[in-house]
Amino acid sequence: MDRIIGIDFGTARTGLAVSDPLQIFASALETLPSAKIIDYLQKYTAGGNHITRFVIGYPLDLNGRPMATAAQVDAFIAKLQKAFPSVPVSLEDERFTSTLAHRAMIDGGMKYSRRRDKNEVDKISAAIILQSYLDRKK
């Protein structure tokens, strides 16, 4: 099944999201330690899932310029492209995704204790990043 993977990269944790096979909807997938993302994605593809694209949240300031943390994202992208050379990478503005993730959790009725869990926020942020890409692609 062809899937697009959304990634909300962080130095400690990284949130992942996945598209449906028709590449219309994004769903939160997992939050993992950042050092384990490449291994996780390799196992994911070995399990029969075909990744057609990675969409990575890119940190921009309010003027649209890359923030200081963009260098860490760039280093991660280099590792990702080395591990998956045939899979293209797209960058998506990640401004306000954490705020939108918190709003989605509140609107969805998620309990306060789960909303405080940064793992939940990261994977929902990845889903927002991916859904933004999918919506724009249409």
Mean predicted lDDT score pLDDT of the chain: 86
| Fold entry, domain 2-137 | Nucleotidyltransferase; domain 5 (3.30.420)
Q: Which residues pair with 53 in a beta bridge?
A: 4
What is the C-alpha separation between 104 and 86, in angstroms, rounded?
A: 34
User: Over 70: is that where the pLDDT of 10 sits?
Assistant: yes
What does the alpha-carbon distance between residue 95 and residue 108 come to, in Å, rounded to a whole number?
A: 21
Q: Which of 13-17, 52-56, 75-79, 108-112 has the lowest mean pLDDT?
A: 108-112
CA distances from 100 to 59, 82, 107, 125 (A): 15, 32, 10, 8
User: Domain segments of the chain: what residues?
Assistant: 2-137
pLDDT tens digit sequence for 28-67:
999 999 999 999 999 999 988 899 999 999 988 878 788 8
Give the model's pLDDT for residue 105. 56
Residue 24 has which token pair?
């219309």
